[in-house]
Amino acid sequence: MKTDLGDLNAFVAVARAGGFREGARASGGSASALSEAVRRLETQLGVRLLNRTTRSVVPTEAGQGLLDRLSPALNEVEAALDVVNGFRDRPAGLLRLNVPGSAARLVLPRIVPPFLAAYPDIRLEIITEEGFVDVLAVGCDAGIRYEERLEQDMIAVPIGPRTQRYALGAAPKYLDRHGRPQHPRDLLDHACLRSRFSGRAMAPWEFHRDGEVVRIDATGPLIVQAGGGSDLAVDVAIAGGGIVGLFEDWLRPHFQSGTLEPVLEPWWQRFSGPFLYYPGRRLVPAPLRAFVDFIKASAE
């Protein structure tokens, strides 16, 4: 029985992503083309591989067995093709990175333009997502995250500034009207503009000074999703709506322009910078290898 490799790849993309539209985004194809490829594969094999509902697509028992056997084999095919790519004068191909919005805004702008100029045959696709993900399962080559606990088979490479601070800011007119906090506990009497990661409880604001650690569950009129809603929180703070907490680099332009004033700066928490992470259990694709080498050289 001769089976088209493209149909197998389509099945794996849909099964890993949990849907045809999600699989299309991960593979760069179309949902209709993936659906037709999976239908063709099921017809040829004479067995249903995916259970489809209006809300989800999950492998059947036969489909899961096929997926478990196919994934390592297809990874080896990709690795074999990448060995050939290594003989080119310049690395080429698609590099897909899964990153949080903060990295896309604060870290990558300094790296991406010179990287693309140095490697004109590489196409870079950036997918922004706040939660920690299995980069292979979502069709990406690598990800960027802050202080996450990585799996043992992940390789982590520092990228961007190695130390950052979590800052607070408010419009001068808000502070003139409501007072300037002198201690983190004073925030309990203020309108605080908060953010949370999707699907997670809202973490308290944490402050450090001279060995003292203070955690405050501040409340206020606005809660936004981390990353995508952060600019809205900043706009509300500039309008005088309350005190916003974000990465210092995110708020610095507003501090410099005077539209926001730093709040409780001696208490701002420091944390380590982000890491590029990718699986260490397979050969590194040439575009990713070029990106890793580039950020390492940039850090020297």
Tell me the per-residue pLDDT of 54-74, one tens digit each, with 9 for 90 and over. 677 888 888 888 888 877 776
Per-residue pLDDT for 219 more than 70? Answer: yes
- Please compute the mean of the pLDDT values over residues 26-43 and round it to a whole number: 81
Structure confidence at residue 192 (pLDDT): 97
Which residue is listed with tokens 């419009």?
A: 171
Higher pLDDT, 16 or 214: 214
Per-residue pLDDT for 135 more than 80? Answer: no
Helical H segments across the chain, by residue range: 5-17, 20-27, 31-45, 61-85, 101-106, 112-118, 172-178, 230-238, 248-257, 286-299
Mean pLDDT across the chain, nearest whole number?
86
- Please compute the mean of the pLDDT values over residues 252-273 and round it to a whole number: 95
Higher pLDDT, 127 or 135: 127
The confidence band for 287, taking pLDDT boundaries of 50, 70 and 90, is very high
Looking at 76-85, 143-152, 193-202, 218-227, which range is the least confident one? 76-85
Residue 54 burial (C-beta neighbours within 10 Å; 0-12, 13-18, 19+) = exposed
Distance from C-alpha of 130 to C-alpha of 125, rounded to nearest angstrom: 16
Residue 13 Rama label (left phi>0; alpha psi -120 to 50; beta): alpha
Structure confidence at residue 170 (pLDDT): 98
Percent of the chain with pLDDT over 90: 45
Structure confidence at residue 243 (pLDDT): 98
Per-residue pLDDT for 83 more than 80? Answer: no
Higher pLDDT, 267 or 13: 267
> Could you tell me if 50 and 60 are in contact, meaning their C-beta atoms sit under 8 angstroms apart?
yes
Residue 39 burial (C-beta neighbours within 10 Å; 0-12, 13-18, 19+) = middle
Which residue is listed with tokens 């870079």?
A: 124
The length of the chain is: 300
Most confident of 1-10, 151-160, 201-210: 201-210
Higher pLDDT, 101 or 88: 101
Distance from C-alpha of 259 to C-alpha of 256, rounded to nearest angstrom: 8
Structure confidence at residue 73 (pLDDT): 73
Structure confidence at residue 20 (pLDDT): 83
Distance from C-alpha of 187 to C-alpha of 288, rounded to nearest angstrom: 44
Structure confidence at residue 41 (pLDDT): 85
